[in-house]
Homo-oligomer: A and B are copies of this chain.
Amino acid sequence: MKIYGDSISGNCLKVKWVCDSLGRPYDWIETSVVDAQTRTPQFLALNPAGQVPIVVLEDGRPLAQSNAIILHLAEGSALIPADAYERAKMLEWMFWEQYSHEPYIAVARFQLAYLGKTQADLDPKVMPRGVAALQRMEDGLSDGRAFLVGGAVSLADVALVAYTRVAHEGQFDLADYPRVQAWIGRVEQALKIGD
């Protein structure tokens, strides 16, 4: 399997972490967004949406969208809860991540840390909605909950840790969210991120 990904992209790292966690071999093909390597005719033939990550499965078929990719790769593994309601809650967090977290936390980080902009340059919704997303996670981790869903690490944690762990690069202060900070440590340990 080939993974076309940009190493600075949390969406791309989700796929790497799931493969590493499952012991699934892959070739990583570094594909820079900043250098527009996702806009070449060759890349657009693989993914007309012009986004990374994309995987090319062993049989040559492509698959895009980070959360769809990790749901496919992790089918039948312990990263997806066996209980139907827990599985649904995992999906709830994953869709929420793409709609209400990534467009603010990841976008602030990319613009501020990688494009050299200042907060004044950002769409005024970005910072307050990022703060709201982090607070939503802090609230979701109440009651001594170790992971977002059930009692073990799941794809909900994979999807949400990707940009939350680097939210400080988007000038969010994680010290305001102590349960989120502790959860990041647990998820990194469970997925062996940074080893």
Task: Report which A residues bind B (CB closer than 8 A).
Answer: 48-49, 57, 61, 63-69, 71-72, 75, 84-85, 87-89, 91-92, 94-96, 98-100, 102-103, 123, 136, 139-140
Q: Which residues of B contact A100 (CB under 8 A)?
A: 49
Q: Which residue of B lies closest to A100 (CB)?
A: B49
Q: Which residue of B lies closest to A123 (CB)?
A: B123
Q: Which residue of B lies closest to A98 (CB)?
A: B99
The 7 lowest CB-CB distance pairs between A and B, nearest first, are A68-B91, A72-B88, A68-B92, A65-B95, A65-B92, A98-B99, A67-B95
Asked, given contacts A98-B98, A99-B98, A100-B49, whether A92 binds B64 with beta carbons under 8 Å apart, the answer is yes
